[in-house]
Amino acid sequence: MAFEVEMIETANVRLRVALAGAGPLVVLIHGFPEGWYSWRHQIPALASAGFRVAAPDVRGYGGSDKPLAIEAYTIREMCADIDGLIAALGAEQAVVIGHDWGAAITYATALFHPERVRALAGLGGPHLGRGPMPFVELLRKVYQDRFFYQLYFQEPGVAEAELDADPLTSLRKIYYAASGEGQKAKVHDPSGPGWLDRLVDPDPFPPWLTETDLDYCAEQFRHSGFGGPLNRYRNSERDFAQLGEVEGKRITQPAAFLAGSLDANLRMLPGVDVIELMRAQFDELRTVKLFDDAGHWLQQERPAEVNAALLEFLQGLPAD
């Protein structure tokens, strides 16, 4: 099924959005460092099954607006964009599905704008609640003087210089490192000064991402840069304050969680069973599915299986 890519004006921001199909609205939110294109396998499958699908580049990415201020990328701002997109598309509600940072935006949108979210699914990013402190502070306590990429991202300009220098190589290394193949290989250099220095550039790249796919993704970052995407990581303290407004609230909508069994996000906090922690955050976590030997880029690594799981979840929801 063909789909179109259009610019959509919301109340807060202009978003470039891939659109397809007709029926109940499903919004697909990508993570870091990706774009609408990461959902290229899901858009036609969901549209063919009778859903209207909208997959935006979130602010800071691809063809969407790219505010310069770090505070323009707080969790409340990101959720307001999704609320505004649903309204701009003429819908009262949508099923919201997010991957990685898109999953965090999905969960928070369900809390900040519950009237907009009919149901939700998170891929590769568990919902652990607000926590006792800003997440970056928790990471500093856990990792102390050890390198961790999210801590490396905190100083403005440093990671941008490294990642912007060669977007194609940056993406190849990042995508491979978090993939199922990369997690199984466990090949890295823990002594490298930057992030990319510690990662491997595979030859060849695993077949789930072709050279054409990589070239398209790299071209988007040559145009947009990594600054906006990295600013999302620099709002941990602001996010913590904003999420205080919904602290203690459980997500009441029907929900699903999908992840690769080798996704490092499941092991980000040593000794913590994130799946069990997630269950305490939902009233109706209907589906939890781990895909054997898959890594972080789940909807690209295992598109057919993910499509089947999402359709099973969507088709099991009560009719509008």
Domain of 268?
4-133+227-315
**Does any domain span residue 143?**
no
pLDDT tens profile 279-316: 999 999 999 999 999 999 999 999 999 999 999 999 99
Q: What percent of the chain has pLDDT over 70?
A: 98
Instruction: Say what the pLDDT of residue 186 is.
Output: 76
Of the candidates 99, 113, 127, 296, the residue annotated as catalytic is 296
**Does any domain span residue 280?**
yes
Q: Is the predicted pLDDT of residue 270 greater than 80, yes or no? A: no
List b or e across 72-85, with b for residues whose CB sees 16 or more CB atoms inside 10 angstroms.
bbbbbbbbbbbbbb
26, 84, 109 from 280: Cα distances, Å: 25, 29, 18
**CA gap 258, 296 in Å, rounded:** 10
pLDDT tens profile 17-70: 999 999 999 999 999 999 999 999 999 999 999 999 999 999 999 999 999 999
**Does any domain span residue 55?**
yes
232, two tokens: 């999302």
**CA gap 83, 109 in Å, rounded:** 7
Q: How many domains does the chain have?
A: 1
pLDDT band at 1 (very low <50, low <70, confident <90, very high): low
* Listed residue (222, 206, 193) closest to 33, CA to CA: 222
Of the candidates 83, 100, 239, 263, the residue annotated as catalytic is 100
**Does any domain span residue 86?**
yes
**CA gap 296, 266 in Å, rounded:** 10
**296 is known as an active-site residue:** yes
**Does any domain span residue 158?**
no
**For residue 255, which amino acid is it?**
A
Report the CATH number that the domain containing residue 16 is assigned in CATH: 3.40.50.1820
308, two tokens: 């089947």
- How large is the angle between the packed helices 75-88 and 236-243, nearest 10 degrees? 70
Provide the whole-model pTM: 0.97
**3-state class (DSSP) for residue 269:** coil
Torsions phi, psi of 274, nearest 5?
Answer: -70, -30
What do you get for the CA distance between the two ends of the chain, in Å? 24
**Does any domain span residue 110?**
yes
**Does any domain span residue 258?**
yes
**Does any domain span residue 26?**
yes
* Listed residue (239, 236, 228, 160) closest to 13, CA to CA: 228
